[in-house]
Amino acid sequence: MDELRESKSSSYLIKRVQHTLRLALDQSLTKMDVTLPQFAALSALAREPGSSNADLARAAFVTPQTMHKIVQVLEKQSLVEKKRHPHLGRVQQLFLTEEGEQVHLLGRAEVDAVEEKMFSHLQKTDIAELRRLLWRCVDGLTGNGM
C-alpha cells in the first residue's frame, strides 16, 4: 500500500478517490432507495425544474438512453413527473413531485455528510485549494480557461 501512496500516478489517485467516494455515496443513498445516477437526476431537477431528458443526461454524465431508463424508474417511484413543454409540443419537461423533493432533500443531507467525512482531515483552505486545482485540471483537459 505504501508503494501506491508513493506512486506518481495522479490519475490513479483521482480514480481511487472517485471510486471510494462512489461506494460511500451509493451506500448512503440506499436509505432513500435511490442510486447515485438517480440522485444526480433529482439534483439536476431541483436546480433546473422543467429540464428535458437530454439536459438531465448531460448533468448526470450518462447517455440519453440511460437517463431515459433512470427517469422511468423515478416516475414509477412517483419522484418525478413529465409535462409537455408549452411551446415545443414534442419536448417533455420533467419536474420533481413533492415526494421527489423530499427524497432529494434527504439525499442531499446524506451526500453532504459523506463529503464532510471525506474532507475531515483537511482544513477549509485546503478544501478550497483542492477545488480550485481540480477545476484547473478540468480546464487543462478541455482546453477551457486559456
- Segment 59-92, tens digit of pLDDT: 999 999 999 999 999 999 999 999 987 777 777 8
Instruction: Give the pTM.
Output: 0.85
pLDDT for 60 equals 92
Q: How far is CA 30 from CA 39, 45, 82, in A?
A: 10, 20, 25
Q: What is the pLDDT of residue 146?
A: 56
Residues 120, 99: Cα–Cα separation, whole Å: 31
Residue 85: predicted pLDDT: 74
The residues pairing with 84 across neighbouring beta strands, listed in sequence order, are 92
For residue 116, with 0-12 CB atoms within 10 Å meaning exposed, 13-18 middle and 19 or more buried, which class applies?
Answer: exposed
| Residue 109, all three cell numbers | 443531507
Residue partners of 59: CB distance under 8 A and separation at least 6: 40, 41, 43, 44, 48, 51
Q: Domains of the chain (ranges plus CATH)?
A: 11-142 (1.10.10.10)
What local confidence, expressed as pLDDT, does residue 25 receive? 98
> In this predicted structure, what is the pLDDT of residue 8?
72
Mean pLDDT for the stretch of residues 122-135:
97
Give the rounded percent of residues in the chain with a pLDDT score beyond 70: 94
Sorting pLDDT into bands at 50, 70 and 90, what band is 2? low
Q: What is the mean pLDDT of residues 114-132?
A: 97
Tell me: pLDDT of 128 over 70. yes
